[in-house]
Structure 1
Amino acid sequence: MSINNHDDNLKNKMAKRIREVRKCLDLNQGQLADHLPCSRSNLSQVENGVFFPGVSILDALINKFNVSLDWLFTGKGPMFIDEKEKGLDLLDFGKDTEEIKEMLEEMKESPALKHRVLSDYYSLVGVERFRQQKEEIKKKIKEQMTNDQ
């Protein structure tokens, strides 16, 4: 696959995921654009894969809506990050770096191990947790929109 095809593929996948976030939050393009550093028409172009989302849009999705950057780029893991976990991640960052590096190296060598580890992780995260986070975020967005008016 050429670099341009890879870039287009990533752009289209991210476009789909950003649209999915918006729909999950039960917002129309105008409502989401009001919380992002872009216009409704610009968001529409991003969602349709015309433009790759800029850093400022990605930053707003991550920081205002707790969207997982990993999920935006890969589609893996939970769509949203719990605020408590976000804080803990920052506090614990780097404590297990060597173990993580070792595990990643092992996973590179064995696709079966990688699949098993990720499969176990996602089953632990669970669908119910995602649903709960989604409802909490929807509630926060609606409260924020009410306060902004």
Structure 2
Amino acid sequence: MQETYIDVMLQSLRKKELILDRIIELDELQRAALIDQSIKPDDFDVIVEQKSNCIDELNLIDEGFQEIFNKISDEIDANRDLYAQEIRQMQDCIRRITDKSVQIQAQEARNKDLMKKKFSTIRRQVKDIRSNQGALKKYNQAMKKVEYVDPHFLDNKK
């Protein structure tokens, strides 16, 4: 019975690795989207939504893993020799997961910096547009006054 629990834990760790790989891919897409000036906000939102779904899935896997571990941790500790190979496999998976988590954290920090720069650029563009609109409004008002000419009587006789 414990073997099946251990197998499920190993499967959970492997699935977590796959999901972390997907998050790494999505982080790269997000980075490219932040660099690309022509990207639409909706395309960026799709990437963020996919990443959010991956994170939700990771949380479910972690909860299930923890529940199983709590059930069988005493048994595993008591019979370490019997489960040595499985323990090594889990340790290997956990090392890879940790490495991928560190990689994701670094990517997230870089993406955060890119996001700040992008928002700064957008704010500056909005400010420029507003000031241009103000100047255009003043110009139009000035031109309306210039175009108005009081009626004149012209005598064409010579």
**TM-score in terms of structure 1 length:** 0.29
Which structure has the larger Rg? 2
Structure showing greater relative contact order (alpha-carbon pairs closer than 8 Å, 6 or more residues apart): 2
More helix by share: 2
